[in-house]
Structure 1
Amino acid sequence: MARATVQDVAKTAGVSVGTVSRVLNGSPAVSAASKEKVTGAIRKLNYRPLASARDLRRDRTMRILALAKNLNSPVISEAFRGFGDAAALSGYVSLIAPTSGDLEREQQLVDMLRNGSVDGLILFSPTMPDADVEALAEQLSVVQVCEIVDSEAAFGVSIDDRQAAFDITRHLIETGSRRLAMIGNRLARSGRLREEGFRAAAAEAGLAPEHLLLADGEFDFHAGRRLAKELLHLDPLPDAVFCGSDTVAAGCVREITDAGLRVPGDIAVAGFDDSVQAEMCVPELTTIRQPAYEMGQVAFEALFARMTGPGGHRRGRIFLSHELVVRGSTKD
């Protein structure tokens, strides 16, 4: 049987994860009724926290730093929430710092780990070269989330981006699309993997991808509109576009519909992430759901092992399962 999680406790008790955390940490800011529900759920599920961090506090800062280029990504935000909730249950404070892709700024923040100002480091989308990430992970407590270097030394948690892109491209082909286009971003490791999956699915079906447009700056709503406008000047038009994120796909849908074309009647559009934008878009986006919150939790568990366990420098990576979510943007 799988080990019970704090989310299982919260669901069984009918309270929030934060309430469970406060009960476990002995906070007085919990009603007697809520405390009774939580303790009952803990007994019922035989839940055990990762460890009691109180015994470690004398030798540790009880702070963990998370670095990301920016906080705009819904996946990074949700993964950080999962990481922060898991960290709080073991008594850790989570700090998050956007680097804006500034390598010097990133190195200054990494020095907080080197000089003992924090106990561990989570990297969401590092700017530093892969070799630097690997060297850092060989010496210190570091875990990567989403964007992970191809190294056994640097532990990471992600989904299989290549397979996920393959699955959603195959879905486009199965719905009848033959002239395929992709709006992607090679600056990110995940973007390069998604391009590989897109190409592999097209090749398996005996199709040559008609067009591959790459963002040369921010990978956002406006990039989706700008690159979709380029697609609309093509003759013939593509009949399906796979976008490397839901935000970009929303911009693509907007540009296509503003041009008087129908989605998916004239051009099907698929995104990636299953963020809130996927359901806000009209029509709602077919996309790939990433278990972002769970990735954050698993990342903390791995980091905790590295910080506290003898020989805890865990290597390799964990790929969590993704899910193809089919909505109106690819299917009438």
Structure 2
Amino acid sequence: MARATVQDVAKTAGVSVGTVSRVLNGSPAVSAASKEKVKGAIRELNYRPLASARDLRRDRTMRLLALAKSLDSPVISEAFRGFGDAAALSGYVSLTAPTSGDLEREQQLVDMLRNGSVDGLILFSPTMPDADVEALAGQLSVVQVCEIVDSEAAFGVSIDDRRAAVDITRHLLATGSRRLAMIGNRAARSGRLREEGFLAAVREAGLQPEHLLFAEGEFGFHAGRRLTKELLLLDPLPDAVFCGSDTVAAGCVREITDAGLRVPDDIAVAGFDDSVQAEMCVPELTTIRQPAYEMGRVAFEALFARMTEPGEHRRGRTFLPHELVVRDSTKG
């Protein structure tokens, strides 16, 4: 059975995580009734704090570092918010450092963990090679979010990108689409997994993909438009396009409609992430919802365990559930 967390205690007691934290730290600013509820939940769940905040502060900076190539991704920015909120409840300050894919800059920032300037490190989309991530995670308190190195030594939190791509491609097939295309991004591990899922579902249906296009570098709205222009040169046209992000899908929809075609009547379009762009797009996008905030929160719990129990809990990964969200950009 998984070890109970502070969030589990709060839910069972019917109070906030902050209230649980104040009870654990002996704060007088808690009513007697709330204190009894928390203590009852602790007994019921057999909750054992990993370390008290006061003990941690004796030899820790109480600072955590989050590295990402960019915070432009809605998923990464939301995951960071979940991480930061959970960290703050335990008294930590979260430092964010976008690296713009600069490996030298990334290594300089990682040195902050090596020299003790921060207590732990969250990697959202590292530039460093997989082997370097694995070596770092094997020595220090490191957790990955979203983009996970395929290594037992490096712990990570994400959704099952391959499974999610299978689910959304099966949806497109179920609506009657048979000439499926994909716009993806092989530069990211998640992009490669989504490609695998797309191909698996298409072939499962006894079909071959109509076309595969992959962005080089920027993977956003303009890339979606540019690559969709290539798709529109095909004869016959695809009748459905799976895009590796909502932003790319928005560009795809724009290019299709500017060409005088209709979404989804002529070409269905599906995205990925369930970002704000999915609902801003016309028509609204069918997509995969990632529990980004929850991924960030779970990542903090995992990092906290690694910081307070050295040598333990360093391996494996946690897949959180995704959700297929069907909107007007696909039929049915």
Q: TM > 0.5 between the two?
A: yes
SS of residue in 2 equivalent to 1:324: strand
Judged with a 3 Å threshold, the aligned counterparts in structure 2 of structure 1 residues 325 and 25 are, in CA distance, closer, same or farther, namely farther
**Is the 1:50–1:301 Cα contact (8 Å) retained in structure 2?**
no
Q: What is the CA distance between 1:266 and its match in structure 2?
A: 0.4
Judged with a 3 Å threshold, the aligned counterparts in structure 2 of structure 1 residues 93 and 293 are, in CA distance, closer, same or farther, namely same
Per-residue CA deviation, residues 242-278 of structure 1 (Å, 9 max, x unaligned), is 0000111011111111111111000000000111111
How far apart in 2 are the matches of 1:81 and 1:32? Answer: 32
**Is the 1:69–1:101 Cα contact (8 Å) retained in structure 2?**
yes
How far apart in 2 are the matches of 1:231 and 1:19? Answer: 55
**Is the 2:180–2:238 Cα contact (8 Å) retained in structure 1?**
yes
How far apart in 2 are the matches of 1:29 and 1:227? Answer: 58
How far apart in 2 are the matches of 1:106 and 1:252? Answer: 33
Which deviates the most, 224-233 or 36-45? 36-45
Judged with a 3 Å threshold, the aligned counterparts in structure 2 of structure 1 residues 200 and 303 are, in CA distance, closer, same or farther, namely same
Q: What is the CA distance between 1:24 and its match in structure 2?
A: 8.5
Per-residue CA deviation, residues 280-328 of structure 1 (Å, 9 max, x unaligned), is 1111111111111111111111111111114324201111111111111
Q: What is the CA distance between 1:140 and its match in structure 2?
A: 0.6
Judged with a 3 Å threshold, the aligned counterparts in structure 2 of structure 1 residues 307 and 14 are, in CA distance, closer, same or farther, namely closer
Number of residue pairs aligned between Structure 1 and Structure 2: 332
**Is the 1:50–1:90 Cα contact (8 Å) retained in structure 2?**
no
Per-residue CA deviation, residues 210-269 of structure 1 (Å, 9 max, x unaligned), is 100000111111111111111111111100000000111011111111111111000000
Which residue does 2:114 correspond to in 1? 114
**Is the 1:25–1:89 Cα contact (8 Å) retained in structure 2?**
no
Which residue does 2:39 correspond to in 1? 39
SS of residue in 1 equivalent to 2:67: strand
Per-residue CA deviation, residues 164-200 of structure 1 (Å, 9 max, x unaligned), is 1011001100100000000000000000000000000
Judged with a 3 Å threshold, the aligned counterparts in structure 2 of structure 1 residues 3 and 329 are, in CA distance, closer, same or farther, namely farther
Judged with a 3 Å threshold, the aligned counterparts in structure 2 of structure 1 residues 17 and 214 are, in CA distance, closer, same or farther, namely farther
**Is the 2:18–2:89 Cα contact (8 Å) retained in structure 1?**
no
Which deviates the most, 37-46 or 202-211? 37-46
Which deviates the most, 312-321 or 3-12? 3-12
Judged with a 3 Å threshold, the aligned counterparts in structure 2 of structure 1 residues 74 and 323 are, in CA distance, closer, same or farther, namely same
How far apart in 2 are the matches of 1:22 and 1:100? Answer: 39
Q: What is the CA distance between 1:157 and its match in structure 2?
A: 0.7
**Is the 1:289–1:322 Cα contact (8 Å) retained in structure 2?**
yes
How far apart in 2 are the matches of 1:281 and 1:13? Answer: 41
Judged with a 3 Å threshold, the aligned counterparts in structure 2 of structure 1 residues 22 and 204 are, in CA distance, closer, same or farther, namely same
How far apart in 2 are the matches of 1:289 and 1:157? Answer: 15
Judged with a 3 Å threshold, the aligned counterparts in structure 2 of structure 1 residues 7 and 60 are, in CA distance, closer, same or farther, namely closer
Judged with a 3 Å threshold, the aligned counterparts in structure 2 of structure 1 residues 107 and 3 are, in CA distance, closer, same or farther, namely closer
Per-residue CA deviation, residues 37-81 of structure 1 (Å, 9 max, x unaligned), is 999999999999765322211201011100000000111011111
Judged with a 3 Å threshold, the aligned counterparts in structure 2 of structure 1 residues 272 and 18 are, in CA distance, closer, same or farther, namely farther
Q: What is the CA distance between 1:28 and its match in structure 2?
A: 12
**Is the 1:183–1:244 Cα contact (8 Å) retained in structure 2?**
yes
Judged with a 3 Å threshold, the aligned counterparts in structure 2 of structure 1 residues 35 and 274 are, in CA distance, closer, same or farther, namely farther
Judged with a 3 Å threshold, the aligned counterparts in structure 2 of structure 1 residues 184 and 19 are, in CA distance, closer, same or farther, namely farther
Structure 1: runs of 5 or more not aligned: none
Which residue does 1:64 correspond to in 2? 64
How far apart in 2 are the matches of 1:36 and 1:284? Answer: 48
SS of residue in 2 equivalent to 1:59: coil
**Is the 2:186–2:192 Cα contact (8 Å) retained in structure 1?**
yes
Per-residue CA deviation, residues 65-106 of structure 1 (Å, 9 max, x unaligned), is 000000001110111111111111111111110000000000
Share of identical aligned residues, percent? Answer: 91
**Is the 2:271–2:278 Cα contact (8 Å) retained in structure 1?**
yes
Structure 2: runs of 5 or more not aligned: none
Q: What is the CA distance between 1:7 and its match in structure 2?
A: 7.0
Which deviates the most, 20-29 or 199-208? 20-29
Which deviates the most, 214-223 or 50-59? 50-59
Q: What is the CA distance between 1:331 and its match in structure 2?
A: 2.1
**Is the 1:52–1:90 Cα contact (8 Å) retained in structure 2?**
no
How far apart in 1 are the matches of 2:148 and 2:124? Answer: 8
Judged with a 3 Å threshold, the aligned counterparts in structure 2 of structure 1 residues 216 and 201 are, in CA distance, closer, same or farther, namely same
How far apart in 1 are the matches of 2:12 and 2:292? Answer: 22
Which deviates the most, 233-242 or 309-318? 309-318
SS of residue in 1 equivalent to 2:149: coil
**Is the 2:154–2:316 Cα contact (8 Å) retained in structure 1?**
yes
Which deviates the most, 256-265 or 17-26? 17-26
**Is the 1:141–1:313 Cα contact (8 Å) retained in structure 2?**
no
How far apart in 2 are the matches of 1:4 and 1:136? Answer: 27
**Is the 1:24–1:89 Cα contact (8 Å) retained in structure 2?**
no
